[in-house]
Structure 1
């Protein structure tokens, strides 16, 4: 039995990323939920394949598998899984002979992904070495699989604060839409618009926020990408809240919770529940606000997703004393709940 399992793991590891994880486009359109469910069912086999390839020193296979799996881990909010797998793959590639065997572009891509996931976990220590700072990177790695599209959104909001100008990141962001349009990559164009909308929100440019979010939402809708529409609807919900249209904001965030539940994107559910809680606060429904933030916090804790948990904690702190329905855990001194240094996370990320 053990021999059969070992052989099966070797067979899985020897298949191409598209066979194991699925084609890149599978996560971008109407089949998004089906592909996510498929990878959920295969997650243990994928982990075993990665362990097998790493133990065998098969750096090219290991690096390609983790790069192909990264977007799945991102959508599912599995930051810890992603970091562990990427670290193991890079260690395999760095071993004697491994670096030469694994393509340099694949290794660079894995480093960029690791740095981006570290930032999401609150660890900024890899920013300088792992995030691409060359504004021309978008032209050499313009797809979601390339370094630029992992590093640039991570830089936005973490490299010195989202609200102030970061010239290298700005140069990359401002050029991404043209790059994706030239490539005919409509998903990339929509994702770039979403990131630009986030930057506009941080900088208080509400007109640019609305324009980019609306166009991005339309493109994601045409592609059937529910995750992308979730990003745009959150931005438009924030805009409605700023405009004082609490009914519209509540509707958008309620729809977001429903869509995120359908996709089983639990960290997204957590963030949108917290958004609903924020809407309840100014309408003086403090009990509802506390309940929504409590639900959000418990979900985030279950997912070990520190940013979502912190966002829920802030919402609870905004409410009156004694209304909280969830008590946030207290991490050890100087460390986050996921074992990462607490100083790297910047609240501006949401």
Structure 2
């Protein structure tokens, strides 16, 4: 199958935040696409770690460094001379932004600026995708999806840091990078991403599987909170297609794109947990409602992805039940069935690509 116009085969690709949840899935997919990957991260963020389980440190250039330190980042990119950069490194936990606001701001804002400045210093051609979050929007909890032109901002430090990262991206583009035709750059926004291999704290899927692995009900704070859940491979396909398209289409330079699931994917937290528990095949109560909300959480937040559809012809592939099945089978395979997770992960990527081809996704049919 031809994927992403074969844009990544034999190319050098930098992934920042490569040891995290989304970064690990992206790194594995890029290696399957034939890319030479250099990962930049400040360490292994969780235990267990999907990155370690997959053994990716032995198949890529693994660089441990802090993106808040400008000189090492610049030196690494200058030495590697990447064709593509995907910037995912971030402090991504809302609760942590309350306990460590300055660390969150320095990582998400200064770290992004350091990566952009390192890209600015590259002497040759490079295409970069700066990934932020759906939380970059000023959320007023309206019922329709946020568009790329809506206000940036946030009531909490995490949201504000993501809005600020977007502002820094646009400032670097307009001040420096749009005058460099050999460098092309765009930003991507997504949220409510779920999938196997996530063990970050204060995430509903992670809290659930950890509790269930000990035959305990998960404690949930906001059972009625509604989110448009999407499997991790959905936004990653958007990021990869954006990078491939950006490299050949100058009209996309400096733009921002939302990547989200189908409208019917929105479900309450309590519904998602109940549906996921079916794959656990156990007979205890799967959740308890605590009502304890220690920090502000948005009740509703979804994205309008019409721009990605219009300019990239990108659409999500999975339906809600398929998303839940992939998540449930991954964690059940890890905890209950002791499956080979490397093989399971590759099979899920291959299944996703098969479904995308079957449903006419532009990124897998191009040539």
- Place the TM-score, normalised by the shorter chain, in its bin: 0.3 to 0.5
**Greater RCO, 1 or 2 (C-alpha within 8 Å, sep 6+):** 2
TM-score, normalised to structure 1, is 0.33
Judging by fraction of residues, say which structure has more strand.
2
Please identify the structure whose Cα radius of gyration is greater. Answer: 1
